[in-house]
Amino acid sequence: MADNNICKFIMPGRETGLCLSCFVKEGNPEVMRKRTVLPVHRMTLVSRGSGNLMVNGTVHPFTAGDVLFAFRGEEIAVESESCEYMYIQFEGSRADELFLRFDVRPGRRRFSAFDGLLPLWMESLSRADGQTADLVAESMLLYTFSRLTPASAEKDGLLYRLLGQIEENFNDPELSLGRIAEELSYNPKYLSHLFKAGTGVGFVEQLRTTRIRYAVSLFDHGIDSVRNVALLSGFSDPLYFSTVFKKVVGVSPREYLAAKGEK
């Protein structure tokens, strides 16, 4: 099985924001089982069989046709009775942009039903040589990324969850996009981009607006303590609350209450 392996190393070349180091077909069980700390990122396409990808001791099952990602600094190994796979190793500034765009992260590293890519990957790897290996690997990498676009329904569902978190928990002073991202196992930058694209405003701005809208309703219902309204609306600092209130409403809380009293 090991004799069928193919490994094409890639020499440094043009600057595209991606640095690709190798394009490999692996079928040697001894190599697979060896624990390896990745110096760069790795995209893997499983061509035959099934097994488990071990990442920092965590089990990630896979089968033929799966695309798997492992990230720089992770310790990986493959447990399988019989499988083969191909992989491309890469890094660079564009890698981070691609991960963000297609929501690839440790909590979302497996993508299924990519059997149709197997002939293309295999032919490209077999035909690549020293003059074309970089182009071939980059083409396969980018084309495979392009097939990972999250479904609109998934994006919409996630956006509604974020909006729901704001509506349900805006009065928690500790509420933040970073905390939500950690709870949902998402990249905070991805959630920020998704929220801004879906609503037209940033998460922080939406949270502040929701808090101030609630504060106005409390004033309108007869609560006249600025400090109490600030705390009930999710602001731990009444002075900061007054600053945000004036920015959103156009007048300070005291001025708003005074105007109400004159009516």
Amino acid at 227: R
Q: What is the pLDDT of residues 181-228, one digit of tens each?
A: 998 888 899 899 889 988 889 999 999 999 999 999 999 999 999 999
Q: Does the structure show a pLDDT above 50 at 142? A: yes
Burial 98-113, CB ≥16 within 10 A → b, else e: bbbbbbbbeebbebee
Q: How many residues does the chain have?
A: 263
Cα(165)–Cα(81) distance, rounded to whole angstroms?
A: 44
* 40 token code pair: 């760069």
Cα(260)–Cα(252) distance, rounded to whole angstroms?
A: 12
What pLDDT shows up at residue 154?
A: 61
What pLDDT shows up at residue 13?
A: 47
pTM of the predicted structure, to 2 decimals: 0.57
Q: What is the pLDDT of residues 61-77, one digit of tens each?
A: 999 999 999 999 999 99
Q: How far from 84 is each of 11, 80, 183, 255, CA to CA, in Å?
A: 25, 9, 35, 71
Please give the domain boundaries of the chain with CATH numbers for all domains.
Answer: 2-146 (2.60.120.280), 152-263 (1.10.10.60)
